[in-house]
């Protein structure tokens, strides 16, 4: 996409936001990475507090969530107080920031 910056993840303190492809193999890799990280660091992901937020229609979303052991949520939502999934034209969505 030209000179656009690609973001694959955002991390802050104990919050993480990961962007990825909608494939079971990608979800399994993510789970393996988190498991290995937990083994090395002693820090664990609470998958019951974690959510998958699909962008557009994802036909196998429940299967992906089951592979992670988390729930499916919808957009819009907030991450660190910032609105995610709102249209840029909805200026009132940014009033809290």
33-64 pLDDT tens trace: 999 989 999 988 899 999 999 988 898 899 99
The residue ranges of every structural domain in the chain are 9-94
Task: Note whether 68 and 33 are within 8 A (CB).
Answer: no
3: CB partners within 8 A, 6+ apart: none
Share of the chain above pLDDT 90, in %: 37
> Has this prediction a pTM greater than 0.85?
no
Characterize the bridge pairing of strands 71-72 and 51-52: parallel
Q: What is the mean pLDDT of residues 7-35?
A: 84
| Residue 94 pLDDT | 61
Closest C-alpha among 83, 88, 62 to residue 73: 62
């Amino acid at each position: 996409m030209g000179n656009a910056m690609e973001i694959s993840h955002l991390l802050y303190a104990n919050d993480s936001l990961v962007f990825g492809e909608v494939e079971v193999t990608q979800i399994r890799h993510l789970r393996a990475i988190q498991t290995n990280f937990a083994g090395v660091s002693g820090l664990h992901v609470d998958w019951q507090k974690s959510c998958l937020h699909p962008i557009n229609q994802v036909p196998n979303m429940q299967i992906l969530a089951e592979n992670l052991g988390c729930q499916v949520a919808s957009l819009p939502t907030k991450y660190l107080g910032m609105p995610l999934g709102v249209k840029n034209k909805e200026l009132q969505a940014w009033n809290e920031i």
